[in-house]
Chains A and B, each alone.
Chain A
Amino acid sequence: MIEVVDPGPLALVEDLGRPGLAALGVGRSGAADLDSFRLANRLVANAEQAAAVEFVLGGLAIRFRRTATVALTGAPAAVWAGDRAAAFNAPFAVRAGEVLRVGRPERGLRGYLAVRGGLGVAPVLGSRSWDSLAGIGPPPLRVGDLLPLAGDVEGEPSVDVAPVPWPEGDVTLRVLPGPRADRFAPSALDALFGGDFEVTADSDRVGLRLAGPPLPPAPGARELPPEGMVTGALQVPPNGRPVLFLADHPVTGGYPVIGVVLTADLPRAAQLRPGDAVRFRPTARPAAGVAGAARAAAASAARSPRPPHG
């Protein structure tokens, strides 16, 4: 059992989420920075689906009722176990009765605390993730919450320290254009790939809301019927300001998606905080993958006229 002494600005329970439930209108959710989440579990030799704490901008304080092995990953900050200094990206022990405290990170947004065994809160629809848009899962942590520990382990911790370089300077995210790039004016792609964007204060786990050059629609583009959305989608509402969808994005949306950020770049996106600058650059499609589909689409389009939109 661990006790929340201070959740800081926001602390959540997250795991790998709940894929496969879109037919119910339920999205995947799960840890926003999956790389950091997975690393934290690996450092304490948890099973990959073990639940961990995802916290924003440090400030977390947790009292341990019994001695446990823990690991912190993500936005690096100072950390203490009782009065002993500890470090990110390395497993360490917190003794029974001690309080683990995390300071405020200088860069980055989200930290992860994995405790050996994983958090044992009750799963909802097969996952221990809080989905902030759907309001499903264990609610945000509050002072005094008691979290049981589970037995989601795989072997014994063996890694002493996992060096994680924190990226310096401006972040550039790689984007595959489409599926609706054709709904934008040609200048919109130039603006997306040439412009400087800033993460605004109303960003959250649903998405990064970005300020920058507007991405105008193609002249005469009609309204789209709602369609499925993926994590990483750059959806552009009529105001022309893109939203980069993160873990808790809606299952469907009614605005066109100009491009999709590569899965490998999403952990970095999830570490951007309000005021951070971000750029986008186009990337080639995987040779045997989407390129073939695009060719098939072109061939298909040649045979059958594109259906009109509602």
Chain B
Amino acid sequence: MRTSELQVLPCGDHAILVELPDLEDVLALNAALREHEPAGLVDVVPAAQTLLIMFDPEVTSAQRLTDDLTHLPDEPPATTESAPLEVAVRYDGPDLDAVAAAAGLSAAEVVERHTAATYTVAFTGFAPGFAYLTGLDPRLVLPRRDDPRTRVPAGSVAIADRYSGVYPRSGPGGWHLLGHTDAVLWDLDRTPPATLLPGAHVRFRAEDGRR
């Protein structure tokens, strides 16, 4: 790993937060850590520009782990070349018109742009199986809702900031809801339970009969 690109921030007594220039570097470091696991590694949380590395303080230290990072060989980013997973969406979400208005587009144009992109699972978090998908059309980039919903139904297809995502289960959420899918993206009886893992590709397809 080129150490000049690493910025290590302290994060309590059992983790470090590594800042990287962009998502590709995050995925590369994540892959390298999986391939050459340093002693005392407990868990790794990849995010947009950071990698949170949790360690066992009885085995290693922040300093030793930082040294380990600088000696990791470069790995290619963990992207898969397999065909994108296609997710069928009914674009009938409660925020579709508001998103269209904010973006200066018609609802049909929002759907067009949302279905035109190929997305990559950048990282998961927020909820089990909730994947942050990068590749969103820049015209659809909007901040999260000012007023988060206390309950977003499972299968809701949503956008916020530079990401698109699908709520795998119902729960609170502040993203803009464009529609919903019947695809089951989180199933504890499967191994792994999450369908969308970092590096996977996704496309959305508009189902007939919207609105």
Q: Flag if A303 contacts B22 (CB, 8 Å).
A: no
B45 A251 Cβ-Cβ under 8 A: yes
Instruction: Give Cα A23–Cα B199 distance, bound, in whole angstroms.
Output: 11
Query: Which of A21, A25, A223 is most buried by chain B, counting CB atoms within 10 A of its CB?
Result: A25
How many residues does chain B have at the interface if contact means C-beta atoms less than 8 Å apart? 59
A20 and B44 alpha carbons, distance in the complex (Å) = 7
**Contact B49–A292 (Cβ < 8 Å):** no
Residues from chain B with a CB closer than 8 A to the CB of A109 are none
| A34 CB, min distance to chain B CBs, angstroms | 12
Distance in angstroms from A22 CB to nearest chain B CB is 4
- Most chain A CB atoms below 10 A, which of B42, B44, B125: B125
Q: How near does chain A come to B145, taking the closest CB pair, in angstroms?
A: 13
Shortest Cβ gap from A59 to chain B (Å): 28
CB atoms of A228 and B17 under 8 A apart: yes
Closest residue of chain B to A18 (Cβ to Cβ) is B43
Check: A260 CB closer than 8 A to any chain B CB: yes
Distance in angstroms between the alpha carbons of A260 and B45 in the assembled complex: 17
Nearest-CB residue, chain B, relative to A176: B12
Whether A226 contacts B126 by the Cβ 8 Å rule is: yes
Take A225-B161, A296-B66 as given contacts and tell me if A20 and B43 are in contact as well, using a CB distance cutoff of 8 Å. Answer: yes
Quote the shortest CB–CB distance from A236 to chain B (angstroms). Answer: 15
CA of A25 to CA of B6, assembled, Å: 24
CA distance A252 to B192 in the complex (A): 20
Q: List 12 A-B contacts (CB under 8 A).
A: A25-B129, A125-B188, A176-B10, A178-B9, A227-B45, A227-B47, A227-B48, A229-B52, A261-B12, A290-B62, A293-B66, A304-B5
* A interface residues (Cβ-Cβ under 8 A, vs B): 19-26, 28, 124-125, 133-136, 176-180, 223, 225-230, 232-233, 250-252, 254, 257, 260-263, 285-286, 288-294, 296-297, 300-301, 303-304, 306-307, 309-310
